[in-house]
Amino acid sequence: MNLSFSKELARFNNFDFQSFLGNVNRKDIERVLLKESLSELDFLSLLSSSALDYLEPLAQRANNCTLSNFGRVILLYTPLYISNYCVNDCEYCGFHSRNVASRKKLTTQEVRQQVEILEDMGHKRLLLEFGEESQRACRQFLI
């Protein structure tokens, strides 16, 4: 699988978020709530101030989606730490840039080995953990 968030993000480089969000009205929110499948712009509409009066129907819709996709289960994920380089400074996080801890980014080979070990242990769902650092980031990650 080839993931590239930056490519997806680049699609919105010239998008006027302020203008879009400012133009969303109540009818737009009601239309989105009735849709079977939501587009990216539909989701964005739900972040507008016009959606504030629809928090309860939004919560019910989200709950229905969760139940239909996952049922009444609790899914546990095994974290796989890929890189702890980060330029940010979130107080609660050990990856923050002021932390003097040693830094490491796994190679593709190391990631593959770690995944195989976790698979052999019976883990089926992995949560890939990265810091945010463009110079060493895993922008395109093959697994």
Interface residue list for ligand SF4 (CB under 6 A): 86, 88, 90, 93, 95-96, 131-132
CA dist 50 and 65 (Å) reads 22
Compare residues 62 and 93 and give the one whose CB is closer to ligand SF4: 93
Evaluate whether 51 touches 58 at the Cβ level (below 8 Å).
Answer: yes
Q: Compare residues 45 and 133 and give the one whose CB is closer to ligand SF4.
A: 133
Q: For the packed helices 26-34 and 55-70, what is the interaxial angle rounded to 10 degrees?
A: 20
- Distance CA(114)–CA(82), nearest Å, equals 10
Q: What minimum distance in Å lies between the beta carbon of 35 and ligand SF4? A: 32
User: Least distance in Å: CB of 30 to ligand SF4?
Assistant: 36
Min CB(129)–ligand SF4 separation in Å: 8
Q: Which is nearer to ligand SF4, 29 or 111 (CB)?
A: 111
Q: How far is the CB of 88 from ligand SF4 (least distance, A)?
A: 4
How far apart, in whole angstroms, are the C-alpha atoms of residue 143 and residue 123? 16
Q: CA nearest 73: which of 6, 137, 125?
A: 125
Q: Cβ of residue 20: shortest distance to ligand SF4, in angstroms? A: 26
Nearer to ligand SF4, 38 or 128 (CB): 128
- Tell me what percent of the chain is helix, strand and coil, each rounded to the nearest 5: 45, 10, 45
Looking at beta carbons only, is 61 or 96 nearer to ligand SF4?
A: 96
